Structure 1
């Protein structure tokens, strides 16, 4: 089983001619209400990509409101077990997303109930059953660290997506996260930021990832958009997976799709290079439609594209 410990949001998405600059107002014809939150997104992506012999469960929090009810129903519809998601007094998290004509986006997230997620929400039984634990940075990091440490003591593999990276990323926090992770997933900018925080500033993301992998004794995976993804293992071994050439419609859920599909490949015990390649293909497919979860591909679509190219 894959256990996702993380955020659950409702996304309010507007298509605009250009993303507004500070002090600027832009108009959109309409907006859409979609399901999101990096944790929920990654849970859905993993569920769709995972072999049906396993499952996905999520630990998180929503509000006692209509958004919370809808988010829970959507997760269940996508095969994600919701038994360990709690309802609280804070409102369900919400993200406000602008998407421009090139498919680029700007996102503001109001944490709401996500800010109350606690380590105790992940009980011993569900944690013991997990083969892979997936974490992000949209719930309290102290809670995520506590759960990750417990999971590793159980022999569970921990995949930590350092997104969104905090503005104050210091050496102590980086070392804590690395010590509790088997696989750290970052984008190019996050790779450079982590390396710099650890006192090993680099000029390119590959060198930064190598420094992070050595320092943390973990596998550092860097997503690089159209360049695909690079994995550097603690022993220095490198694996690269290409991205599929596409014309993006909306990149909102691509990173979360990558993480979910990668976690599914690890849980399915695929060779890491194959899991990495599937994750890249899944992320590319997710850019071809509007919205995060709505665009995430099924396992069959990833496999077909993987074969057909």
Structure 2
């Protein structure tokens, strides 16, 4: 089972002709409310990719919180550890332009009340997986990580958005997932300067003794494990909205690893999942099912050693 310790937001999504600049107002006809938050997105992505998933997080006692809980249940995510906090449910304001690029601002709300104590002992099972992001309090993430590590779980951290990661936390991880900017940030905290994504992946993997996956957007992704470096190509699509692509990648990758697939196959499935997530508006509605990934798997070559 995958236990996701993370955030839940209601996304307010607007399609605009161009993203606004500083001091600029851009008008559009309407907006949509769609379930989001990196934690919930990755929980749904992993569940749709075939994993058994439980969500640990916090929403408010409001309509947005109700809708987020109901949506997780519709996607077969266990919500028994979803807590109602005193703050309003978190929201994200998302603008998407005609080139499928986006602008996102987040009000964390009840997410800031999420605590490692919300994670019950019965979910900390040897052989399971704890998946984390950086949209809930960092001290609680590290506390949850320590408990999962002690229980013998696989530990996966997506450092999104970019934030400091203590050296002892890095060394307690099995899998680190970052984009190029996040890789530079994490490496810089360890005194690793310069170098491209391949160099950073190798150094981070070696320094922390983990698998380091660096996503490269339209160029696919690379992953360092020991002395091996893998590269996976992207699924070629015409994007509509890239908002959920990173979370689709993380969820599909974690689901594949949790189900016992090797790293190259997990990377390939994650690349397909990320590409398919770009074909519809919204973070969670666009996330593919396992059967969708299976149908397009042949369109992405097996990862190559580099």
Match among 115, 138, 155 for residue 118 of structure 1: 115
Aligned residue-pair number: 300
Aligned to 1:71: 68
Indicate conservation of the 8 Å contact 1:84/1:121, yes or no: yes
- In the alignment, is the contact (CA less than 8 A) between 1:63 and 1:90 conserved in 2? yes
State which drifts further: 37-46 or 128-137.
Answer: 128-137
**Structure 1 position 177, deviation (Å):** 3.0
User: 1-side partners of 2:126 and 2:285: how far apart?
Assistant: 28
- Determine the structure 1 residue equivalent to 2:40: 40
Distance in 2 separating the partners of 1:240 and 1:155: 29
Q: Is 2:185 the partner of 1:193? A: yes
Alpha-carbon displacement from aligned partner over 1:276-300 (angstroms, at most 9, x marks no partner): 1100100000001100000000000
- Cα shift at 1:308: 5.3
Match among 84, 106, 113 for residue 87 of structure 1: 84
Distance 1:35 1:129 in 2: 31
Q: Select the residue among 277, 289, 297 that pairs with 1:286.
A: 277
Local SS of the residue matching 2:200: helix
What TM-score, normalized to structure 2? 0.96
Structure 1 unaligned residues grouped into runs of 5+:
none
Evaluate the alpha carbon distance shift between residue 142 and residue 130 of structure 1 in structure 2; reply closer, same or farther with a 3 A threshold.
farther
Instruction: Kindly provide the CA deviation profile for residues 60-79 of structure 1, in whole angstroms up to 9, marking residues without a partner as x.
Output: 00000000011000000000
Once residues 287 and 219 of structure 2 are traced to their aligned partners in structure 1, the CA distance between those partners, rounded to angstroms, is 20
Matched, 1:106 2:103: yes
Deviation string 1:176-221 (CA, Å, 9 cap, x unpaired) is: 3312210000001111222222111123111111111111111110
Displaced runs of 4 or more, over 3 A: none
**What is the rounded CA distance, in whole Å, between the counterparts of 1:303 and 1:228 in structure 2?**
18
Q: In structure 1, what is the Cα distance between the partners aligned to 2:62 and 2:172? A: 34
Following superposition, the deviation at residue 129 of structure 1 comes to: 6.6
2-structure distance, mates of 1:114, 1:196: 27
Q: Is the 8 A contact 2:158 2:178 kept in 1?
A: yes
Counterparts of residues 1-309 of structure 1 (less than 5 Å)? 1-50=1-50, 55-128=52-125, 131-166=128-163, 169=164, 173-233=165-225, 235-307=226-298
Gaps of 5+ in 2: 301-306
- SS state of the match for residue 240, structure 2? coil
Alignment partners' CA distance in 2, 1:112 and 1:119: 17
User: Once the 2 structures are TM-superposed, how far is the Cα of residue 147 of structure 1 from its aligned partner?
Assistant: 0.9
SS at match of 1:159: strand
CA distance in 2, matches of 1:112, 1:266: 32
